[in-house]
Structure 1
């Protein structure tokens, strides 16, 4: 049985751990939260307290046990380059053979040319220097294990309903919509069901030493998308900035579809009736 450790068990990591366990992988998952560790154990997942910020101070519990696996999925929001450098040293001394690093399409620049061609994984000129990109490079340039990177776009689904991003309440509990900027820019979003589906595809197809962009195929404008999202929540009227100098980008998902043969579950970002939220 192949062993998979998941670093980070939040909105994506916990359901991912459950799905991989159902697929007959031996799954371990980590968290810095005692409450989340309890949730993992209740779900039948081997839980580990593990924090890359304190690797060198011996504060992790069973840190060596956590890295006794074949595959490590890194799914945390930290941008601490030094902490990831230390983590890589730990991986080098472990049984980990492959790393799947969950990244973000925020590594690509925005542009004022809203009709520009979609950005692909090969568009290195579109990359912006940032800590996340440096961390990607640390893993890609290490020859002690194989790394694939998935750059997810905006995450939606279940507890993350995009309509709620812009709803707020007044002191007397009246609900209103905050101003939505960049109304003419295109959105790049992906539902959690598809995040888990793509991760599964990479693992099952042994697709390593690759970089994948991951987002739905359709890219409605922010005006269209958030209007549909707010309509799904009820009678909420969106407020757009009205500015004409919107900036943004369109992310291509062609490599995921062609190389992995992946078919998106939620490809129509305006059809909220078919998306799962909680």
Structure 2
């Protein structure tokens, strides 16, 4: 769904590694950007970047909020991931329900929710947005519940972005598996995306006013886990990880064709190998 509403103010919930890069891009594009963090000591970094900074925490209800002005916005972008805990499904859905109530309370009309390809189970082949979702991991189950909580509301428009594994800059993949031996799953494809593409995709959604959609977002090419992480280690001058010769196992190959077609999107990095 598209509309012609002009957005001026953007609030980023969880303005961390991705949120800070996104905020700087949006500021350069003329938006007023507000960012939230959970810790008082992180506020100064946001301010130094020109981001209006707020302390905010959902535990799972909204307990910490330095200023309601954070919710005076045209669009809220949730970069709030599910945290590891025993009751992750319940707690995270309660967090997102609390966020939803704030969106309704302040009359915010647009939401972008940063989800993950963790919502997909490992299958033998390609996964698309219309696949029936039956993840095994608790984090995937928690994200599905969160997505549905937002998508089902008729009072605001939500677009969901299911990002693959995030790489780029201070997240150099050469360090991820270096030195490790007898690793499994070397033949499965990786589903990764660079920070620059994440920022560009979100910017395009805002620019083109594309709402009510669910998008996969991964590099179009999917090298094997072995090829990618060995090359990344070599590029970082680190010992290469060593993989066992596995039999073919279940895997997922995340397809981003819908996003490419809907946004007329051209990836900055077509392959994760190009990021190394």
**1:232 matches 2:235:** yes
Contact 2:77 2:113 in 1 (8 A): yes
Offset, 1:53: 1.7
Secondary structure of the equivalent of 1:270?
Answer: helix
In the TM superposition, what are the counterparts of 1:1-278 in structure 2 within 5 Å? Answer: 2-53=8-59, 55-57=61-63, 59-62=64-67, 64-78=68-82, 80-111=92-123, 113=124, 116=125, 118-124=126-132, 130-167=141-178, 176-273=179-276
Secondary structure of the equivalent of 1:124?
Answer: coil
- CA RMSD across the alignment: 1.7
- Per mean C-alpha deviation after superposition, the further-off stretch among 125-134 and 222-231 is 125-134
Equivalent position of 1:276 in the other structure: none
Offset, 1:83: 1.7
Equivalent position of 1:172 in the other structure: none
CA distance in 2, matches of 1:187, 1:2: 36
Contact 1:183 1:246 in 2 (8 A): no
Listed as ranges, the gaps of 5+ residues in structure 1 are 168-175, 274-278
What per-residue deviation string (whole Å, max 9, x for no partner) do you get for residues 228-262 of structure 1?
A: 11111115232113322433100001111111011
TM-score normalised by length of structure 2: 0.89
Offset, 1:124: 2.2
CA distance in 1, matches of 2:62, 2:111: 21
> Any runs of at least 4 consecutive aligned residues in structure 1 with deviations exceeding 4 A, and if so which?
125-129
CA distance in 1, matches of 2:200, 2:127: 22
CA distance in 2, matches of 1:54, 1:3: 25
TM-score normalised by length of structure 1: 0.88
Closer/same/farther in 2, CA of residues 28 and 179 from structure 1, 3 Å limit? farther
